[in-house]
Amino acid sequence: MKKTINQYMTGYTFLAILTAIFTASCESFVETDAPRSQLAGVEVFEDVATARAALANSYALLSNSVMLTGGIQGLSVSLGNYADELVPYGSGVSEQALFQNNLTAANADISALWNNSYNLVYALNAVIEGVGASSQISDVDKEALIGEAILMRSVVYFYLTNLFGEIPYTTTTDYVVNANLGKISVSEIFQRLEEDLNEAYQMLPEDYGNMLRTTPNKSVAAAMLARLYLYAGQWDEAAEKAGLVINNTALYTIESNIENVFLKESRSTLWQLSPFSEGQPTRDAQSFIFTSGPPPARALNSELVEAFEAGDLRRSHWIGEVTDGASVWHYANKYKQLAPLDISAEYTIAMRLEELYLIRAEARARTGDFSGAGADLNTIRQRAGLQDTEASSTAGLLDAIIYERRVELFSEQGHRWFDMKRTGRTDSVLSQSKPGWNPTDLLWPLPQNELLLNPALVPQNPGY
C-alpha cells in the first residue's frame, strides 16, 4: 500500500528515521537516565527531506495514537463518552469508566494518553532543536518546519491542560530537565501557548505544503489562537483571529453541499490528517459506524439525536441509524468511508472553518455585537437548512451559539465537553444524566505512576 503521510516518506531513509525517532520517543517522559537513542541533528536533520520525514512521524503519532486520532485513544471517543455524546455498549473497562465518570489515577488509558502526548512533545522538541541547529537546511525551510512543530506541540499542550489542568510545559529534549519538571498554572500555560502560536504564525507560510492541507499554514495558527482566546475569555482577540481565517476566501469557504464537508477536498477544511496508507478509511469512521444492533462498541446518546431541530440537514446526513426491528440505535456518520479503497475519500479533520464562525459569533455576542454574532451563527444554520436564529437577547443568543456548537461539532475532538466545561454547564447537564458525576470531575486524574516517578507533579488533582 502507498504511504501518504505528507507524501514525504520514502524507502530506507524514512524507515531509519522513523526507527530512531520512535525509539527515542518511547522513553518515559520522566526518564531518569539518558535516553538510549538520541535524535542526532547531524544524522537526522542533514537536509530538508530527512527533516521532513522526521516531522512526518509526528503527524503519524498525532493521527494514529495521540489526541486527534479517531480511535478509542483519541478525544472524539473518550470525551464523547465522558460528556453526553456517546453511550458505550462494549465491554471495554476504560469506556465504561469514562461514561460513568469513574476515572482513577491508576487508569491505564489515562496513563497512556499522558505518556503518548509527552512522547510526541519530545519528538517535536527534537525536530525544533535539530532543524534549528542544522547547517544544511535553508532558513526558509527551517522556518516552515519549526513552525509546524511548534504548532503541533501547542495543540498537544492545549488539550493536555484542558484535560488535566496544571501540567509540565517543556520545550527541550534535555532528560535531566524533563525528569524533574513541575506543573505550572493554567494561566501561565495559556500565556506560553499564545507566545508559541504567535511564533508559529510568523514562521508558517500563507499557503499549504500540499493540496490536501495535511500540513498547517498561517491560518491554522490563527485558528488555534482564536480558540485559545475564546477559552481564555479574550473576546476581542478571539473575534479578530477568527476573522483572519474567515476573510481568507481565496482558501476557505463554507461548503454549500453538506455531503462535501468531510471529504478530503473540502474547502472548509483548515487542517486534516491523512491515514497511514492511502485508501484506508479514517479511524473516526471505524470507531463510530456500525451496521447491526445492538452496537458492538458505542452509539450516539439519544438525547443528542433528539436535540436536532426538525429539518436540520445535519441530522439526516451526519447521523446514521440501525435497527433490529425492535430497537433503534444511531451513530456519527460524518465520515462515511468504512472499507479500503484505491484512494481515501476522507482524512481526519483537525480544524474546519465552521468552528471559526462559531468562535467569532460567541466572541461578538459577548462584546455586544448582537447583529454580527447573529450573522455568523446564521451562516452555519443556513447551510444546515434552518431558518435564522430567533434569539432576541444576548443571553438567548449565547445559548443558541452553544447549542449550535453541539449539533455542528458533535463527535469531533471533544468540543462538547470543553464547551460545557468552559461555560460552567457541566454540573447542570451531567448531574442529571450521569449518576457518577462529581464537580471534581472537571479535571482528569494525573497518572499515579507519573506522580511516583516525579514528586514535583504532586499534588494530585482534587477528587482522586
Helices (H), 175-322: 175-179, 186-203, 218-232, 235-246, 283-288, 302-307, 313-317
Asked if 384 and 258 count as a contact pair (C-beta separation under 8 A), the reply is yes
Looking at residue 143, its amino acid is: E
In sequence order, the 6+-apart residues with CB closer than 8 A to the CB of 158 are 193, 224, 227, 228
The reported pLDDT for the residue numbered 43 is 66
The reported pLDDT for the residue numbered 224 is 98
Residues of the chain below pLDDT 70: 1-43
The reported pLDDT for the residue numbered 263 is 98
The reported pLDDT for the residue numbered 179 is 87
pLDDT in tens, 139-193: 999 999 999 999 999 999 999 999 999 999 999 999 889 988 999 999 999 999 9
Residue 205 preceded by cis peptide, ω within 30: no
CATH 1.25.40.390 in the chain, residues?
9-204
Average pLDDT, the chain: 91
Asked if 437 and 106 count as a contact pair (C-beta separation under 8 A), the reply is no
The reported pLDDT for the residue numbered 44 is 76
User: Three-state DSSP class for 184?
Assistant: strand
Looking at residue 260, its amino acid is: N
pTM of the predicted structure, to 2 decimals: 0.92
d(CA 263, CA 265): 5
The reported pLDDT for the residue numbered 276 is 82
pLDDT in tens, 329-344: 999 999 999 999 999 9
Hey, which CATH number is domain 9-204, 1.25.40.390, 1.20.1250.20, 1.10.1040.10, 1.20.1090.10?
1.25.40.390
H or E element at residue 77: helix 75-82
